[in-house]
């Protein structure tokens, strides 16, 4: 969908969305339109008991004298109480409605929403951002159009008091949305299309934006001693990979300032569970077990797209977990890159094995100032938090607070859960340094404790378990059904607020 900005002059063609505040108050552009329609808008609102509450919609027959194909009244509540997320949700609602009724071109008038022109322009920019996020569709494999299926909205024109400033506000947000869409594409692709090497190929598209992209194959990882990661992928015909992304948007600095912020992603491109095989029902969902890696790749798309002034590195362990005569067995003991040994009691607890070597690699090579890892790691996190929050575990209070605040500001909330010695003891092994599962109690916590054993004491680290938020079975504001891209906006905001120079 193409989004454009122009001056506040209402068009007499295409669909038109008009914002209405609480108690049926039209903005100045709406008042002019109502006057041209001889009061038809005011009468329609009263007849339909339309109050102008936030996200309330009223689709009208176009009054006589207007050439528009459709007129949509959009409630926004009290303008002074509107936050950026509210404006994004309004833009999302407009696009969703226009898609549902088959309008291909629409305009929305965004005037006088702020205390001044700059505030109004920011409102217009964020409304457009919500529209962009909502416009995503994954339908590339549909070869036949269903009878009666509506065409999606192709063009949205945002009419603003200061179109140039609104366009300036939107520009970096548009790049973040592109990163979100890139992640959604990766997560939505089937496993016969996205596997370790092909995922590396997709990531190489970021080179056009200035991101350095390289990958380590099995031979290189063997030399580094990555027995934990390689053990997961040894049952697959698809060769495992370690994807490394580097973005350097800084122009100087030495010492601590030159240390990168690091992001590590779990990239299990399909997870059968291995020898500890999963039930057949729902196994098709395991194509998105690479969601953590997808977020890291999408984040670098966003950072590079908006030219973020930060030095960042991303490392993604990419494997396919398959059962075969070569597959890892329950009871096997592997040696990680750190030198620590792991007794593999359940081959379906594989993501933590992949992350163990990826986390150690990024610390050894880059000495980062902080690490955030993301993984669709445990079903237990869904039991604990449902599909509303990602689980947050960390060894650093400041980093946790930063992530929590960033999540609130972009609508991708996280909830911190505890770590502790009592939980850590649950993964002690009698045969090796540790085992890859604890008992049934606190499964997400013991998984995080496992990861913490691969974090050096002086490194601030946070783990985000995104198993419950990577895929959505129902649409939400700015998030259509399917791959959500949860984490791209969150981490982009973290970088913007705390790590850019």
Q: Which residues are catalytic?
A: 278, 352
Among 234, 228, 202, CA closest to 215: 202
Q: In this structure, what token pair is assigned to residue 378? A: 């445990």
Rounded to an integer, what distance in angstroms lies between the CA atom of residue 167 and that of residue 162?
A: 9
- Residues shown for the chain: 501
Q: Using CA atoms of 62, 68, 70, 73 in order, give the dihedral in degrees to the nearest 10.
A: -80
Q: In this structure, what token pair is assigned to residue 415? A: 């909830």
DSSP bridge pairs for 422: none
- Cα maximum dimension of the chain: 84
Question: Measured between alpha carbons, how far apart are the two ends of the chain, in Å?
Answer: 33
- Buried/exposed 308-323: b ≥16 CB within 10 Å, e otherwise: bebbbbbbbbbbbbbb
Q: In this structure, what token pair is assigned to residue 396? A: 């650093």
DSSP single-letter state for residue 436: S
Among 350, 390, 175, CA closest to 269: 350
* Percentages of the chain per state (helix, strand, coil), in multiples of 5: 40, 20, 40
Rounded to an integer, what distance in angstroms lies between the CA atom of residue 224 and that of residue 222?
A: 5
Rounded to an integer, what distance in angstroms lies between the CA atom of residue 168 and that of residue 75?
A: 26
- A 10 A CB-CB count for 130 gives 26
Among 395, 393, 315, 394, CA closest to 358: 315
Q: Where are the beta strands (DSSP E) in 196-340?
A: 212-216, 241-248, 261-271, 311-321, 332-335
Q: In this structure, what token pair is assigned to residue 91? A: 């833009």
Rounded to an integer, what distance in angstroms lies between the CA atom of residue 168 and that of residue 118?
A: 11
- A 10 A CB-CB count for 185 gives 18
DSSP single-letter state for residue 62: P
Residue 240: strand, helix, or coil: coil
Which residues, including other chains, have CB under 8 Å from residue 47's CB and lie 6 or more apart?
A: none
Q: What phi and psi, each to the nearest 5 degrees, are found at residue 177? A: -60, -40
Whether the CA torsion 466, 467, 470, 474 is positive or negative: it is negative
Among 373, 370, 334, CA closest to 353: 334
Q: What phi and psi, each to the nearest 5 degrees, are found at residue 326? A: -100, 0
């Amino acid at each position: 969908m193409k989004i454009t900005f122009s001056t506040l002059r209402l068009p007499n063609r295409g669909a038109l969305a008009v914002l209405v505040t609480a108690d049926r108050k039209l903005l100045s552009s709406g008042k002019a339109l109502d006057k041209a329609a001889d009061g038809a808008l005011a009468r329609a609102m009263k007849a339909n008991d339309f109050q102008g509450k936030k996200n309330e919609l009223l689709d009208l027959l176009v009054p006589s004298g207007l050439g528009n194909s459709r007129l949509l009244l959009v409630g926004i509540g009290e303008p002074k109480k509107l936050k950026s997320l509210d404006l994004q949700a309004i833009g999302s609602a407009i696009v969703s409605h226009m898609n549902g009724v088959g309008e291909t071109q629409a305009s929305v008038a965004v005037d006088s929403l702020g205390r001044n022109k700059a505030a109004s322009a920011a409102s217009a920019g964020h409304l457009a951002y919500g529209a962009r996020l909502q416009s995503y569709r994954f339908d590339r494999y549909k070869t036949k159009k269903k009878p009666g299926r509506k065409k999606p909205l192709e063009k949205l024109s945002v009419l603003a008091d200061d179109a140039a400033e609104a366009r300036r506000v939107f520009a970096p947000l548009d790049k973040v949305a592109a990163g979100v869409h890139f992640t959604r594409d990766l997560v939505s692709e089937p496993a016969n299309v996205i596997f370790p090497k092909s995922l590396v190929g997709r990531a190489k598209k970021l080179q056009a934006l200035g991101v350095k992209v390289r990958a380590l194959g099995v031979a290189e990882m063997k030399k580094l001693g990555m027995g934990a990661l390689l053990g997961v992928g040894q049952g697959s015909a698809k060769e495992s990979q370690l994807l490394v992304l580097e973005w350097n948007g800084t122009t100087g600095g030495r010492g601590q300032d030159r240390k990168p912020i690091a992001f590590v992603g779990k990239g299990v491109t399909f997870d059968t569970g291995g020898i500890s095989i999963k039930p057949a029902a729902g196994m098709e969902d395991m194509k998105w077990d690479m969601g953590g890696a997808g977020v890291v790749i999408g984040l670098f798309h966003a950072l590079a797209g908006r030219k973020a002034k930060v030095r960042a590195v991303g490392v993604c362990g990419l494997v396919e977990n398959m059962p075969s005569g070569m597959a890892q067995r329950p009871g096997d003991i592997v040696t990680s890159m750190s030198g620590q040994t792991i007794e593999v009691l359940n081959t379906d607890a594989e993501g933590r094995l992949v992350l163990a070597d990826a986390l150690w690699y990024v610390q050894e090579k880059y000495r980062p100032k902080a690490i955030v890892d993301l993984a669709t790691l445990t079903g237990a996190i869904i039991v604990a938090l449902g599909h509303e929050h990602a689980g947050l575990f960390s060894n650093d209070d400041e980093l946790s607070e930063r992530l929590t605040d960033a999540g609130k500001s972009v609508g991708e909330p996280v909830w911190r859960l505890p770590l502790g010695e009592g939980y850590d003891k649950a993964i002690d092994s009698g045969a090796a340094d540790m085992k890859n599962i604890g008992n049934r109690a606190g499964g997400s916590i013991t998984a995080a404790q496992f990861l913490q054993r691969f974090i050096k004491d002086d490194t601030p680290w946070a783990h985000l378990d995104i198993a419950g938020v990577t895929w959505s079975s129902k649409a939400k504001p700015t998030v259509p059904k399917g791959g959500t891209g949860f984490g791209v906006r969150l981490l982009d905001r973290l970088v913007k607020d705390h790590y850019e120079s």
